[in-house]
Amino acid sequence: MLSTLSIVLPIFALIFAGWLARRTKILSPQASSEINRFVVWLALPALLFDIVAHARWSDVWQPGFIAAFGLGSGIVFALTIAVRLRRPRHLADAAIDGLNAGYANAGFIGFPLALVALGHDALAPTLVATIITVCVLFAAAIVLIETGLQTEKRRSRLAAKVGLSLLKNPLLVSPLLGAIVPLAGFTIPAPAETFLKLLGGAASPCALVALGLFLAAERQPSESDFGTTTLLVFLKLICQPVLTWVLAAHVFGLPPLLTHTAVLIAALPTGTGPFMLAEFYNREASITCNTVLISTILSVFTVSAYLAVAG
């Protein structure tokens, strides 16, 4: 538990830094939105481009692992959307809720935790899980949000409008451009490499500070918010890792290392991706903030319990 806590603790510290900056009025109420825009338009696209551009085909192409982890997160994502749409709830908000339940904090917590718990051989599948989470699952949520926000009734025009919106979205364009680098056999020049590392490295810390700024705002939580947050945290910390374990161990028959890596990443708390989208598209973000915060706190115990059981 101490090793898990030492990795998760900096996340709490960054969230608290944002909360304290707002409470002491160092930063204004608009700071959360502005920092988040910086993340969405600059830092996160640089990070996504960098991850995909440096992905080696030999490391990424692990069909069984891709299927187990991808289906585990995808099923939870789709199931959550289906449940939330019955409330009823707007498709854009339901997509963000689905991301809350299926979007593991693979980039910020996954790599150091996998290295400590499973060793260096777990880093390659962790990279695969990160690409699935921050690129594929993220892209699916953006498509649904853009579709839900369009008012056009005719399907052809709706598809055209959604397609145009997607082409303008930096979170989709950047990984696609990054994929050109390994496919074409290009190498990134050293100055550009440094630029991407510096800018991309700001994505997660800034998003966590923005989350703390948002949490510092005074609001009255409703009973429905509490129930929804509980459901999303349960889906994220319990349902997703259990489903991933069933798929990895009993459906695809993965070796122990890949099975443990898939389950460990699936058991991680909700990342800041859903909060970025909620702020970027001006959707209500209180449920998302609470889900990120509570799942991060509880994951110290759930992840430690899994590591103890897995030996």
Q: What is the pLDDT of residues 189-245, one digit of tens each?
A: 999 999 999 998 888 788 888 878 877 877 666 656 788 899 999 999 999 999 999
Residue 238 has a pLDDT of: 95
In whole angstroms, what is the distance from residue 266 CA to residue 220 CA? 31
At residue 104, the 3 state secondary structure works out as strand
Q: Which amino acid is at 196?
A: L
Q: Is 37 helix (H, G, I), strand (E, B) or coil?
A: helix
Q: Which residues of the chain have pLDDT under 50?
A: none
Tens digits of residue pLDDT in 89-120: 889 999 999 999 999 988 777 877 888 888 88
Report which secondary-structure segment, H or E, holds 60: helix 57-60
**CA dist., res. 134 & res. 45, Å (int):** 11
Q: Which CATH number is associated with domain 2-310?
A: 1.20.1530.20
Name the phi and psi angles at 104, rounded to 5.
-75, 145
For 257, half-sphere exposure in the C-beta direction (CA atoms, 13 angstrom radius) is 11
Structural contact between residues 155 and 28, judged by C-beta atoms closer than 8 angstroms: no
Residue with the two structure tokens 């980039």: 107
Domain boundaries, the chain: 2-310
Residue pair 287/225 in contact by the 8 Å Cβ criterion: yes
Confidence at residue 4, expressed as pLDDT on a 0 to 100 scale: 65
Cis peptide before 29 (omega within 30 of 0): no
pLDDT value of residue 98: 94
Task: Specify the pTM.
Answer: 0.81
Residue 15 token pair = 């969230």
304: exposed, middle or buried (Cβ count in 10 Å: 0-12, 13-18, 19+):
middle
φ, ψ of residue 270 to 5 degrees: the values are -65, 135
